[in-house]
Structures are given as structure tokens and as C-alpha cells.
Amino acid sequence: MNLLRLSIILALIFTLGACDNNTVSCVQSDWVGTYTGTQDCDGLSEDVTMTITASGTDAIVVMYETEGVEVEFAPMTPDECTLSKTESDDDMSLTVEATINGNNLTFTDVITIGTESATCTITAIKN
């Protein structure tokens, strides 16, 4: 009888331990929307509006606008709740990294030309 109870308790522990309620899964529609927040480019901060639209079944197109500047990225495919992409051409490269957590978005792009680089990080909330 004690062996049966112990087996049931162990089975419950292993079953509950296998469930990870903190795992968040994201799909394309979780990314899509309009976000507002702040962009910090190497210490210069300004308001930003970011629009993310669907492209195909999995990819997204990211566009953001600050005062006088509009940037649009070619379609990129997130991996769940993260996005990471690097493109290079000659001595120029662009790295994009983003994460979403509910309605909160963090988006960073780093442009490198030769030995010079500029890093802009957007922290925004979905409207």
C-alpha cells in the first residue's frame, strides 16, 4: 500500500514538474500592431511609433517613425517571441534583435559601417 502511494506521489511530481506554465509562445499575430514608446540612439532619446504588419504566413514587416525619420525593414520571421537577423554587404552590416512580452516590445537595430556603429533601442507598448 505504501509503495502504491509513493508511486502515485512520484507520478504526480513528475507530471507537474513537466508542465512549465512560464513558457510563453508567440505567433505572427502577437507581433502585429501599432506600438508607441521611446527610441534611444546612442544616448539621444525621442518618441517613436512602430507599426508591425504581417507578411505571408510567418514573417513580419517592421516600420518605425520618429520625428523626420522613417525606417522600414524587409520581411523577417520571428522565432516565437524573439527576432534576430543580421545582414551584411561589403563593410556594412545591420543587426536587428527584438522581443515581445505581452504588449511590451523591445527592438534594437545596430548599423555598422567599417569601424563605426550606431545602436538604437526602442522600448514600446502595443496600443
DSSP state of 76: B
Indicate whether 10 pLDDT > 60: no
Residue 14 lies in a domain: no
Q: Into how many domains does the chain fold?
A: 1
- Residues 75-113: pLDDT tens digits? 999 999 999 999 999 999 999 999 999 999 999 999 999
Report the predicted TM-score, pTM, of the whole model to 2 decimal places: 0.79
Indicate whether 119 pLDDT > 50: yes
- DSSP reduced 3-state for 112: strand
Q: How many other CB atoms are there within 10 angstroms of residue 127's CB atom?
A: 9
CATH of the domain at 62: 2.40.128.20
87 touches 93 (CB < 8 A): yes
Residue 18 lies in a domain: no
Alpha carbons 77 and 55: distance in angstroms, whole number: 9
Q: What are phi and psi of 26, to 5 degrees?
A: -120, 145
62 touches 50 (CB < 8 A): yes
Residue 47 lies in a domain: yes
C-alpha cell at 124: 514600446
Residue 16 lies in a domain: no
- Residues 67-84: pLDDT tens digits? 888 999 999 999 999 999
Q: Which residue has the cell 527610441?
A: 39
| Residue numbers of the domain that contains 91 | 24-126
Alpha carbons 100 and 83: distance in angstroms, whole number: 9
- Residues 24-53: pLDDT tens digits? 689 999 999 999 999 999 999 999 999 999
